[in-house]
Structure 1
């Protein structure tokens, strides 16, 4: 499925959730208001969500003077991938992680945490960068960034619904579902948004792992990085939110319900696929014994 078709489906699904939550909170009037807000957010998400996500994660641009080795590595990998050089950003966070954003390869950005640069060897950093470049080449970053923006909006609408439930004075007369509808919006809307994120995220990670390993020419380097990043999830991430968790190469949240509602496949499955890929690359072609 093409990147733009996936984006259209995502926009439609998130908009439907948004409007349904508005209807549950405020009836027909709430649905119309939510539809108007969703239309504005869709336009914003299409044109500006990449910059919004970078601001949400407190990412700072980093130039070749500040990080010459990272820039040289990324330029080499981007050339391998047939992509223009993306903008590089640094997130001052101890948890090792990374993400990519941007609606097209020509305005894409890759952000890495300071924890990643400190804790991973060069070979594994290259694997992570190549994985993010694979997302850019597949136009996944557009889908992922829009999902983050709209999921955040749905979360804000749910919070408004909670305040509305506590402060309303009409006893639910403006909404045929009454207080039950408000509670459904508060509980169900963010859950539905999370399920949509999961649906569009999990299969993309396996594909980005495969293509990233080809870009770097080193499946085991990426496999080692994933294992190290999985261990690093115990370090708190100060900027990620449930709405942006699917952007990262590994889920930044560990424990609790994060495993049940994870936007990523199990790291062990991803590593196994990369190890199998490495084995296939190194296996001899044909049977020299003729059997």
Structure 2
């Protein structure tokens, strides 16, 4: 089913890309866009995970890291992957004050997980385990190919739409500009193509998150820790802990366990996640492990904000 969804997703995004090409350059533009879309689909299948990790400056770590928080994180991910019957993924850390995480890769044998420095600083070890078990569930459910390819192609469609706006619409057979009609087409494209791409993302992401929460709770053996982690991440993300890289690349927002965007302006169009309180309630009903009970989650400003992988005030060097 996930492979079918991926193929349908690629077909839909390819059609959007071709439509964008038609509005920019007529039939010739559509043909060029189709060729580019096919090439992009092939390239994304093999390399989208590397693109996403490079975009976020992810640094690979392992169980021998000198920083205890990172070492414990790597040990726990490796242990839970083995428990879930998965190959050990590449384990990476992203320099961001906002607690968050995602998984990527075309299949379990080529998977990678990423946690932010904020996640490792601001959550307890059990809560981090819950979050990373959720990400391993995406790997186990083979969601990561769809998530990663969507991020790269939807981002390309948004960029093409913006180009169309400045280019000024399609051209006629004599090579003249499209005039008012072309400009209207370009404006419509600049507005509608990114929205259409986001609707494709939203169609597959909400149910996927609930399922990853359920499977992740069983991998970690504790639904309560994941529930508390979701509440904390949501609170920090809305409390001024901005994910700068995600704000610059909003088409990747659906990959994270909690929407990393601040919710300003067009950010809300990229809100592909279910409501956090609904996810928490579902986890509480699941009742896996000793920590599966509802408790108040205090979220306060820490004395020292996480400073990054190389920051002098932090433990990440």
**Both proteins in one fold, TM over 0.5:** yes
Cα deviation, residue 228, structure 1: 0.4
* 2:174 is the counterpart of 1:200: no
Give the counterpart of 1:248 among 233, 248, 256. Answer: 256
Secondary structure at the counterpart of residue 250 of structure 2: coil
Give the counterpart of 1:183 among 178, 181, 187. Answer: 187
Summarize the Cα distance change of 1:146–1:260 in structure 2 as closer, same or farther, 3 Å threshold. Answer: closer
Give the Cα separation in 1 of the matches to 2:60 and 2:270.
Answer: 31
Give the Cα separation in 2 of the matches to 1:178 and 1:69.
Answer: 57
20-29 or 134-143, larger mean C-alpha shift: 20-29
Q: Deviations over 1:130-172 (max 9, x none)?
A: 0000000000000000000101110111121122029x99331
Give the Cα separation in 2 of the matches to 1:223 and 1:276.
Answer: 11
Cα deviation, residue 76, structure 1: 1.4
Summarize the Cα distance change of 1:191–1:138 in structure 2 as closer, same or farther, 3 Å threshold. Answer: same
Greater RCO, 1 or 2 (C-alpha within 8 Å, sep 6+):
1
Cα deviation, residue 98, structure 1: 0.2
Cα deviation, residue 281, structure 1: 9.2
Give the Cα separation in 2 of the matches to 1:155 and 1:65.
Answer: 41
Unaligned runs of 5+ in 2: 293-317
Give the Cα separation in 1 of the matches to 2:212 and 2:36.
Answer: 33
Give the Cα separation in 1 of the matches to 2:195 and 2:109.
Answer: 33
* 2:122 is the counterpart of 1:114: no
1:204-283 to structure 2, matched below 5 A, reads 204-233=208-237, 234-240=240-246, 241-256=249-264, 258-259=267-268, 261-278=270-287
Summarize the Cα distance change of 1:94–1:280 in structure 2 as closer, same or farther, 3 Å threshold. Answer: closer
Q: Deviations over 1:181-203 (max 9, x none)?
A: 11121111111001111111111
* 2:154 is the counterpart of 1:151: yes
Give the Cα separation in 1 of the matches to 2:207 and 2:26.
Answer: 36
Give the Cα separation in 1 of the matches to 2:90 and 2:289.
Answer: 34
Cα deviation, residue 279, structure 1: 7.5
TM-score normalized by the length of structure 2: 0.84
Q: 1:7 maps to what in 2?
A: 6
Cα deviation, residue 22, structure 1: 1.0
Summarize the Cα distance change of 1:85–1:264 in structure 2 as closer, same or farther, 3 Å threshold. Answer: same
Secondary structure at the counterpart of residue 255 of structure 1: coil
CA RMSD of aligned residues (A): 2.2
TM-score normalized by the length of structure 1: 0.91
Matched positions, count? 280
Q: Deviations over 1:89-109 (max 9, x none)?
A: 110000000000000101100
Give the Cα separation in 2 of the matches to 1:203 and 1:243.
Answer: 19
1:56-67 to structure 2, matched below 5 A, reads 56-66=55-65, 67=70
Give the Cα separation in 1 of the matches to 2:220 and 2:245.
Answer: 28
Whether the 8 Å CA contact 1:99–1:247 is kept in 2: the answer is yes
Secondary structure at the counterpart of residue 245 of structure 2: coil
Whether the 8 Å CA contact 2:222–2:290 is kept in 1: the answer is no
Q: 1:288 maps to what in 2?
A: none
